[in-house]
Structure 1
Amino acid sequence: MTAVRPHTHAQAVDAAVDLFTRQGYEKTTVEEIADAAQVSRATFFRRYRSKEDVVFADHELLLEEVVVMLAATRPEARASEEAGGDVGHGWDPEVGPYLEVCRAARMVFDHHVGQRETSLARYALLQQVPALRDRELVTTHRYERAFTQYLRDTLPPDRSNTTASIAFAASVVAVHNAILRRWLRNPSLDPRPDLEEAFADLRRAVVVSKGGMAPEADAGPRRRIVVTVLDGETPPDDVARAVRDALA
């Protein structure tokens, strides 16, 4: 996996978060952020466009990496990598795409945890600045769209309907965000076991017809997938439970 925070972007993100934390969001100017990041004002606007955007500049690069990583798992990409064009080797077209979406979400989670101080400072700012919360929603939606598009393009035709793909992508993002917030509120915890368990619950809840059975478990006949809407501070266990109840 490539580095997600090259020096220039890391410097800009950290400079903006530090200035906003010390001076306040409204009192900090673009010129001050550009100076702290050691770039010109023109370069700043060419790269980041606004004060809100620079706070999430690392996610612009991370989203690109997610898209590339997912694209590499599509059947046509796998075929091109294998001498005989055989896309086997354990890849199940009815299960693999769900696993890959969870793997991509895990990479995003690991990015947050790996940049601990920046993630904690950014989370504190989000509680204070509505403009940054709005920008976070845009970023979250872009991940969700990337996951949805991948599922629609990769699952077998009878499994790639829009509703099912949207529901699974939205559920993965919701669980990711809920467990991430729990870690941000208590960074001494190790959230990864809960994350893996919640993702496994979601995969079990999505019935992919292999002889009428669900992946990873015998889950009975096919069900229709629906989306459940929860408050942003809902505990992760309650998120997973609500999704399972909605799917049932």
Structure 2
Amino acid sequence: MTAVRTSNTHAQAVDAAIELFSRQGYEQTTVEEIADAAQVSRATFFRRYRSKEDVVFADHELLLEEVVVMLAATRPDALDDGDLPERSWDPAVDPYLEVCRAARLVFDHHVGQRETSLARHHLLQIVPALRDRELVTTHRYERAFTKYLRDTLPADRSSTVQSIAFSAGVVAVHNAILRRWLRNPELDLVPDLEEAFAELRRGATADLVRRRELASGAASLATTTAGANGARVVVAYLEPGAEPEAVARAVRDALG
């Protein structure tokens, strides 16, 4: 019940602030007026939100916490009973997919709070301080995604730029499609969002597989040439210890 009340309180404060800013102007609206409209004291307002910029994005404070908890629940140490095995690529718990699910949660929040999202978007166009605050909020999501991937991907990948690149890509795609929706909220852009996320995952997963093969000494190169009677001959060069599936993949790639 406490979480529900806190959520409702934040939502009330966000709506009150946005309504006052839209009606009176950002600079002309005082903290006291926002606190009165949100039915909290001035002291409570500053304890919760610190500034006028913060209150406009107060709902995202709770949403970011939800995202972090959601991601943490799928980490290997959360899924294991304590005897943590070596981290491995588990298709049943795909870290890239989990990040996309978290970003989808953020998108659904915007769509579900349609009037608030549209009013906030309008304010961002005319108040530079709020645009700066939005960038801070966006960066916090990106950092949460990056930290999760670094903690969850196989150890040979956790120290590379892949976690940063994928997180930045997810946030960029999310924001681009969200802006399209804000310009035309009648559109259903969820299929576009999901397809874009799927494309990001395909690229990241393919890169992970290639790098793991290199790390295990299974790198290979195959070429085709013409044989007798027009037959195609595949010549494969493989590192010692290459697995059969690596050989088969090299041949398939050459024939393709």
Query: TM-score normalised to the size of structure 2?
Result: 0.76
Q: Deviations over 1:52-71 (max 9, x none)?
A: 00000000000011000000
Correspondence 1:61 to 2:62: yes
Q: How does 1:166-181 map to 2 (within 5 A)?
A: 166-181=164-179
Q: Quote the Cα distance in structure 2 between the aligned partners of 1:160 and 1:4.
A: 38
Cα displacement (A) at 1:91: 3.9
CA contact (8 A) 2:103 2:170 kept: yes
Q: How does 1:185-224 map to 2 (within 5 A)?
A: 185-206=183-204, 207-209=207-209, 212=213
- For the structure 1 residues 113 and 28, does the alpha-carbon distance in structure 2 shift closer, same or farther, using more than 3 Å as the test? same
Q: Quote the Cα distance in structure 2 between the aligned partners of 1:99 and 1:162.
A: 19
Aligned to 1:28: 29
Identity of aligned residues (%): 76
Cα displacement (A) at 1:97: 0.5
Q: How does 1:224-239 map to 2 (within 5 A)?
A: none
Cα displacement (A) at 1:76: 1.2
Q: Quote the Cα distance in structure 2 between the aligned partners of 1:139 and 1:212.
A: 37
Query: Residue 32 of structure 2 aligns to which amino acid in structure 1?
Result: E
CA contact (8 A) 1:15 1:37 kept: yes
Which has more strand, going by share of residues?
2
CA contact (8 A) 1:105 1:173 kept: yes
- For the structure 1 residues 120 and 4, does the alpha-carbon distance in structure 2 shift closer, same or farther, using more than 3 Å as the test? farther
Aligned to 2:91: 92
CA contact (8 A) 1:13 1:56 kept: yes
Cα displacement (A) at 1:78: 1.0
Query: Residue 209 of structure 2 aligns to which amino acid in structure 1?
Result: S
CA contact (8 A) 1:4 1:62 kept: no
Question: Which of structures 1 and 2 has the larger relative contact order (alpha carbons within 8 angstroms, sep 6+)?
Answer: 1
Cα displacement (A) at 1:4: 10
Q: Deviations over 1:62-101 (max 9, x none)?
A: 00110000000001111239xx9899xx9438x7100000
CA RMSD of aligned residues (A): 2.7
Query: Residue 123 of structure 2 aligns to which amino acid in structure 1?
Result: L
Cα displacement (A) at 1:5: 7.1
Cα displacement (A) at 1:162: 3.8
Structure 1: gaps (5+ residues) = 214-219, 222-248
Which has more helix, going by share of residues?
2
Query: Residue 47 of structure 1 aligns to which amino acid in structure 2?
Result: R
Aligned to 1:107: 105
Q: Quote the Cα distance in structure 2 between the aligned partners of 1:188 and 1:123.
A: 16
Structure 2: gaps (5+ residues) = 215-219, 222-256
Query: Residue 8 of structure 2 aligns to which amino acid in structure 1?
Result: H
Query: TM-score normalised to the size of structure 1?
Result: 0.78
